[in-house]
Structure 1
Amino acid sequence: MSLFYEDVGDGPPVVLVHGWPLSHRFWEAQVGAFVEAGRRVVAYDRRGFGRSDKPWTGYDHATFTRDLAALVAGLGLKGAALVAFATGCAEAISYAAASDRVSRLVLGSPVVYPDPLAAEFRAAVRGHRIHLLDDVLLRFVAVHGHSALDEQTRLYLLRLAADASPKATADCLAAWESAGPGRDLARLSLPTLVVQGEQDAFVPLEYSGLRVARAVADSILITLPDAPHAAPLTHHEQWSRIVLDFLT
């Protein structure tokens, strides 16, 4: 099992964890901003997505967490900041709660609690995968019913999502249905930042970032007015600046 990753820049390490159903390309804007700010940036594809291997099994929370741990250990990273988005926040939380290699944690639009949407999407993905992904990505960038992202970039993201393993796309939704982050959230004892758009049309703020921030002692919650779920894309300059301020 091999994970694809990019390792660029010099300085304190930052590991970027993308969410379902995309790849490390989601972080294009952040990679440049973080490297220019003097950071070493590692952006990887979760198993089943992007250019990583696509085995038939292993699309569960525990395996994703082990993959992240193996990547960090294999690169010899210490004092790393984990910056995660959406469902990628689940393994970032679990790993940060158990590892001494992580110094700070950033959770962007966290999708870590079970949601009825997961079962709905899993039923649709089996026969209408591309249509479902198209709808999901519309929700990712929607603000008051209108897209906050240019259509060319959204279609680029759709191509990335469509190239993922169909099995991984479906099984990750099953993992979302059975999520139980309470114990790991309570164990977090490192500086933690939660960032989310106030107009998140995919997972509402009160069920996502607000709930996570309340569960993590001494965490910081920053919300972005008129920003959608995929705020690192649509509001990338503001989002990256907030994160870099926290990391420094």
Structure 2
Amino acid sequence: MPHVVVGSENGAEVSLYYEDAGAGDPVVLIHGWPLSRRSWDSQVQTFVEAGHRVITYDRRGFGRSTHAWDGYDLDTFTADLHTLVEHLGLTRVSLVGFSSGGGEVARYAATFGTDRLHRIVLAGPVIGADRQMAADLTIASRRHRISMLDDLLTRFFSVDGESALDEPTRRYLLQAAADASAKAVTDSIGAWSNAEPLADLIRIDVPTLVVHGEQDAFMPYEAGGRQVAAAIAGSATVLIPSAPHGVPITHHEQWNQAVLAFLND
């Protein structure tokens, strides 16, 4: 299984698990909290068939990556991403970040520059969070994490209280989230809820697409996507009708079509 070492902790290696498929201009898909690379299952084959080299990976603490004790902050997540890009020698790479994964994309561009980058896609980008909501999620994660994740993934995939995702798939994603490190799940709430990425976003100087579910109740377009798009000069926006926060999964055909049209333009 392919892994890249991104650090060490108590004398042991901390590594990321990744999968690398296809050929052509590379696309790195960065999952959001509290999911794993498996949340991109509806994208990988389609993107490969469209002529891209597709890299997915698990953030530290999630999926098959090391369940480290520390490092669940935006700078460390971004450094991990940079190590993966360097390890694979990627150039002309497009970074696609879903939800909180967009924070890594913006911080990557601000910290490491855009010389290697071709395009950026930010899907349902999260700009901070209501402080009370973040505090409530943190308490719930500590006290009854699985119930919290169950409720969260119901909200991620619902429109007006009705699920836009079949229940077996939702439970599959819930299991992936539940398998993550308990500390990673809890600590990562602070990583995205305290993020103020506007200073990073204004430094992006490559073509950027913001894709948002029109009915996103977790991070409504007005609170997230619109502000992100306004901060990035020349960015484009696509709103997917009747779609929730988890639009790459619930409306993957429309989402894939919009993103591939942008990447291949």
Same fold (TM over 0.5): yes
Q: 1:106 corresponds to which residue?
A: 121
Q: 1:75 corresponds to which residue?
A: 88
Q: 1:115 corresponds to which residue?
A: 130
Q: 2:69 corresponds to which residue?
A: 56
Q: Normalised by the size of structure 1, how large is the TM-score? A: 0.98
Query: Take 1:232 and 1:96, find their aligned partners in 2: how far apart are those partners?
Result: 23
How many residue pairs were aligned? Answer: 248
Q: Secondary structure at the match of 2:42?
A: helix
Q: Secondary structure at the match of 1:59?
A: coil
Query: Take 2:158 and 2:193, find their aligned partners in 1: how far apart are those partners?
Result: 23
Instruction: Give yes or no for contact 2:78–2:107 (8 Å, CA) kept in 1.
Output: yes
Instruction: Give yes or no for contact 2:127–2:223 (8 Å, CA) kept in 1.
Output: no
Alignment of 1:185-204 (within 5 A): 185-204=201-220
Q: 1:218 corresponds to which residue?
A: 234
Gaps in structure 2 of 5+ consecutive residues:
1-13
Query: Take 1:93 and 1:227, find their aligned partners in 2: how far apart are those partners?
Result: 24
- Residue 196 of structure 2 aligns with an amino acid whose one-letter code is G
Query: Take 2:201 and 2:92, find their aligned partners in 1: how far apart are those partners?
Result: 19
Query: Take 1:178 and 1:143, find their aligned partners in 2: how far apart are those partners?
Result: 26
Q: Secondary structure at the match of 2:63?
A: coil
Deviations along 1:174-215, one digit per CA (max 9) or x if unpaired, are 122321212111111110000000100111111111111011
How far did 1:7 drift? 0.1
Alignment of 1:122-201 (within 5 A): 122-201=138-217
Query: Take 1:171 and 1:219, find their aligned partners in 2: how far apart are those partners?
Result: 31
Instruction: Give yes or no for contact 1:142–1:228 (8 Å, CA) kept in 2.
Output: yes
Q: 2:6 corresponds to which residue?
A: none
How far did 1:240 drift? 0.5
Q: Secondary structure at the match of 1:49?
A: coil
How far did 1:120 drift? 1.6
The runs of at least 4 aligned residues of structure 1 exceeding 3 Å deviation read none
How well do the aligned residues superpose, as a CA RMSD in angstroms?
0.9
Query: Take 2:19 and 2:51, find their aligned partners in 1: how far apart are those partners?
Result: 16
How far did 1:15 drift? 0.2
- Residue 215 of structure 1 aligns with an amino acid whose one-letter code is A
How far did 1:113 drift? 2.3
Instruction: Give yes or no for contact 2:103–2:192 (8 Å, CA) kept in 1.
Output: no
Q: 1:89 aligned to 2:102?
A: yes
- Residue 78 of structure 2 aligns with an amino acid whose one-letter code is T
Instruction: Give yes or no for contact 1:13–1:42 (8 Å, CA) kept in 2.
Output: yes
Q: 1:43 corresponds to which residue?
A: 56
- Residue 187 of structure 2 aligns with an amino acid whose one-letter code is D
Q: Which has the higher strand share?
A: 2
Gaps in structure 1 of 5+ consecutive residues:
none
